[in-house]
Structure 1
Amino acid sequence: MREAPRIGSASRWLYPGGGEGTSVRPYAAPSARALATLHDVSDWDGVRLHVVSGKGGTGKSTVASALALALAGRGRNVLLCEVEGRQGIARMFDVEPLPYSEQRLTTGLPDADGGRGVVHALHIDAEAALLEYLSMYYRLGRAGRALDRFGVTEFATTIAPGVRDVLLTGKVYEAVERNSRNKGAIRYDAVVLDAPPTGRITQFLNVSNELAGLAKVGPIKAQADTMMTLFRSPRTAVHLVTVLEEMPVQETADGIAELRAARLPVGGVIVNQVRPQDLSADALAPARAGTLDRARIESDLTSTGLKVTPGLVDGLLAEAADHAERRALEDSQRALVAELGQPTYELPRLPGGIDLGGLYELAGMLRAQGMA
């Protein structure tokens, strides 16, 4: 297992001057070009398959997209793929819905010398994956399409849900382990999978176990066993995305335990949507306790030329108390994340929302912290 760096290694960059991300000062975010030079060696050198999971609402698709951009440097080809049928990649990058074919998406984050790699994208669905499998391994081109018209694929995956996961993960495996059967296909330096949520990720990847009661022998069982050699190897890392709230952090801890029990390699924990920490815990204590100096606040507001009313001051005091309470919750959850024993990275909440520029900004932060 890779040694887990202290969360402070990320926090000190995100919040300059902050010991372990507590006492901090405002900062001007460096450019993506500058960020690309801050960390020369990835914590995940040797990993070819980066699986990104997380509780719904934590931003796993955003993190997967940013990670693909971060990995696509130094002329490397990276494939960003999804399996949930949501067309999340297309929406994230504001492009047309993706077909079942690998499409050039964009260039990666530039290196210090300006060099870039290329990010490709793939939307995987079980039906198309089965037809491709039949064509590549059994030469059932037209016959395979005829089976699909008769609904055989839907029938098979309905009565045996594990088969659908084998088909989906099988295509991911093929993208990582390109062979001569897929003539002319791009060989990728890394594959990033926007995977199912934390509650299902172990079942999704542990395809050999899911098929144990269905197929003891045969080509599907053999394929599942072969895929497990990749999924359980050091060339795979399952990264988990969370936010600093109780349920997502607990689900992350549960997910790590399940992955370890299934002997699947746990990667990093990405703490997403982190709020700025411009005030120390000591500075926030009076706001949380409701002991802020009301008269001083009124005086400061008056000195700026504002018309001060009781309602205005009441509202500011309430917001200060809410912010202090939220920060205390986040600090407690950050401590729990640090106890998980995995490399930890933090990404801020972007005030302007997520667009392509925001994805590049997050990609730079991931690279600066050593994730890519």
Structure 2
Amino acid sequence: MSHRQSAPHRQDRDRDDAPDWEGVRLHVVSGKGGTGKTTVAAALALALASEGRRTLLVEVEGRQGIAQLFETEALPYEERRIAAGPGGGEVFALAIDPELALLDYLEMFYKLGRAGKALKKMGAVDFATTVAPGLRDVLLTGKACEAVRRKGPDGRRVYDAVVMDAPPTGRITRFLNVNDEVAGLARIGPVHNQAQAVMRVLKSPETAVHLVTLLEEMPVQETVDGVAELRAAQLPVGGVVVNMVRPALLDADAVAAAEDGRRAEVVRALSAAGLGGTRRGGSAERLFDPLLAEAREHAERVALEHLQRAEIAALGLPGYELGMQGEGIDLAGLYRLAGSLRKQGAA
């Protein structure tokens, strides 16, 4: 793997550089609610499905966010092709249902057959996952890890990469650290063995946990805390994706002028942006007072974003930036984000 140490925003990569996550087969994507982690996970799956590669995009929270992004019907509990990647690749998707995953587990280890369906009707599945909530996470992560390890008749891996749209940052370490969760429930037997097998994948070089954030104080702080928790649990931290980055409307000199309230310089900057002449009474001159207030707000935002970038850079992780896509995001926008991730070396 070439896990490069870098601050966010890597638009100037050489095309011949190897992808940052070469050798990683399971990409776990987390982030604070509202940062767009599902969108980033979908874009990453598309980016990884280039040049004939196959990726599986896994949803574990039951929100059907992936189906909405790809403008398709609700995903069943089966792997379904949902998109084509650049250069002939394919993206498959799976929405994991904990109940059905438990029935799969019972059939695999106990050969219950029809009895498993009877247990579901009796409510035994809900009972099991309520009494032992750690078991639910074993089932969810286990299904994804099984897809990572699965091989076809030719002996090759079925998927080149698996991308998991995981729970938010505040829950991600506990969700992934399933071995600790089930340690008090089963020290031997199939459940214990399953948890051990899952952890061998999750703590291996084949896994990377990526965190999605915005250039805002709370998401960045949650990202910093999340990285610390993942490292403490010895889970492999991946990169940081800064999502919904707004364009800089003024250059550094114009922002500095706005902060200082230097009227003539701001008027010239407004004129350069096509808002009228600099003469007294011109359109730029008349717009000065209301736009100066907006320019000052913009300058404050730029300064705050600069501080947040410094916090992210201090983590010493590969970083990527994705631009604001406007109101919502459509399928074309998803492909644009995928292209941006590829250009920056994430795939």
In the superposition, the TM-score normalised over structure 2's length comes to: 0.90
Q: Show CA shifts across 1:259-301 (max 9, x none).
A: 1111100001111111113533332012123333399469955
Quick one: structure 1 residues 299 and 92, their matched pair in 2 at CA, closer, same or farther if it must change by over 3 Å? closer
Aligned equivalent of 1:347, options 297, 322, 325: 322
Q: Secondary structure at the match of 1:172?
A: helix
Distance across 1 between alignment mates of 2:179 and 2:266: 67
Distance across 2 between alignment mates of 1:50 and 1:257: 18
Quick one: structure 1 residues 151 and 303, their matched pair in 2 at CA, closer, same or farther if it must change by over 3 Å? same
Measured after TM superposition, the shift of residue 310 of structure 1 is 9.2
Which residue pairs with 1:86 in the alignment? 63
Native 8 Å contact 2:3 2:20 kept in 1: no
Which residue pairs with 2:30 in the alignment? 53
Which residue pairs with 1:246 in the alignment? 217
Q: Show CA shifts across 1:182-210 (max 9, x none).
A: 9x998111100000011111100100001
Measured after TM superposition, the shift of residue 137 of structure 1 is 3.1
Whether 1:357 aligns to 2:337 is no
Aligned equivalent of 1:236, options 194, 201, 207: 207
Which residue pairs with 2:6 in the alignment? 6
Query: Tell me, which stretches of 5 or more residues in structure 1 are unaligned?
Result: 14-36
Q: Show CA shifts across 1:106-138 (max 9, x none).
A: 101x2xxxx221000000011010112222333
Aligned-residue CA RMSD (Å): 2.8
Q: Secondary structure at the match of 1:211?
A: helix
Native 8 Å contact 1:4 1:344 kept in 2: no
Which residue pairs with 2:127 in the alignment? 155
Measured after TM superposition, the shift of residue 38 of structure 1 is 3.2
Distance across 2 between alignment mates of 1:320 and 1:223: 57
Aligned equivalent of 1:133, options 61, 83, 105: 105
Quick one: structure 1 residues 302 and 50, their matched pair in 2 at CA, closer, same or farther if it must change by over 3 Å? closer
Native 8 Å contact 2:149 2:157 kept in 1: no
Alignment-mate amino acid for residue 369 of structure 1 = Q
Which residue pairs with 1:315 in the alignment? 290
Alignment-mate amino acid for residue 54 of structure 2 = N
Distance across 1 between alignment mates of 2:258 and 2:236: 43
After superposing on structure 2, the runs of 4+ consecutive aligned residues of structure 1 that deviate more than 6 Å are none
Native 8 Å contact 1:239 1:267 kept in 2: yes
Alignment-mate amino acid for residue 151 of structure 1 = G
User: 5 Å matches for 1:161-172?
Assistant: 161-172=133-144
User: 5 Å matches for 1:298-313?
Assistant: 300=271, 301=275, 303=277, 312-313=287-288
Whether 1:71 aligns to 2:71 is no
Measured after TM superposition, the shift of residue 162 of structure 1 is 0.7
Native 8 Å contact 1:102 1:121 kept in 2: yes
In the superposition, the TM-score normalised over structure 1's length comes to: 0.85
Query: Tell me, which stretches of 5 or more residues in structure 2 are unaligned?
Result: none
Quick one: structure 1 residues 194 and 127, their matched pair in 2 at CA, closer, same or farther if it must change by over 3 Å? same
